[in-house]
Amino acid sequence: MVDTTMLQKSRLAVVWLAAVLLSGCGYTTKSLLPENIQRVHVAPVVNSIDLSAEISDKTPFRVYRPGLEVELTNAVINRYIFDGTLKVTSPEKADALLVATLVDYRRDALRYSEGEDVQEYRLSVTIDAVFKDKTAGKALWSKRIAGDTTFFLAGPRAISEDQAATRAVEDVARRVVEATIEYW
């Protein structure tokens, strides 16, 4: 003979599980962009880092990586293509424009050895970006976006500064596309 309380409990558990699964949490993978925006043009990133700026105790020297603005432009374009939500196109055919300016490239020491030698750095790339609806003529968002990574100079996890810069640039590109597609 089947215990009726056990049967009732199992039915209640199934109903509760179905309710939880069907209710959802409101998250969607659909883009929150206006429906009229299907194509984007990524303008070449402009470099505004002033290498002749005065140095101070806080910034004893400026580090820079030539061609970084080109790498940023290409990384953002590639990330939009990878995402697939918006088609990358020429400015004439675009519904929206992404305009970005490179404002900072920093390499900060994070970890030192006992002999005060730097073992690990944090590399940061910062841009000011504006995403404009071309038809409405207004900015949908405007943000300062930073991408960063850490890297070791020696040991099994050691990478070059070039490899770290590539990672930081890819992080910036990912954040730009997320800001566009998620649009919060």
What is the percent of the chain with per-residue pLDDT over 70, rounded to a whole number?
Answer: 80
- Residue recorded with tokens 């998250």: 27
Give me the long-range contacts of 135-138 (CB less than 8 A, separation at least 24).
Answer: 135/36, 135/95
**Could you give the domains of the chain?**
29-182 (3.30.160.150)
CA–CA distances in Å: residue 75 to residues 9, 64, 81, 119, 183: 55, 18, 10, 28, 20
Binned at pLDDT 50, 70 and 90, residue 115 comes out as: confident
Chain segment 35-57, per-residue pLDDT in tens = 889 999 999 999 998 877 666 66
Is the model's pLDDT at 122 over the cut of 90? yes
Q: Which of 122, 132, 78, 124 is nearest to 100 (CA)?
A: 132
Task: Give residue 11's pLDDT band: very low, low, confident or very high (50, 70, 90).
Answer: confident
Consecutive H or E run containing 68: helix 68-83
Evaluate if residue 132 carries a pLDDT over 70: yes
Highest mean pLDDT among 23-27, 53-57, 118-122, 179-183: 118-122
For the whole model, what pTM was predicted?
0.78
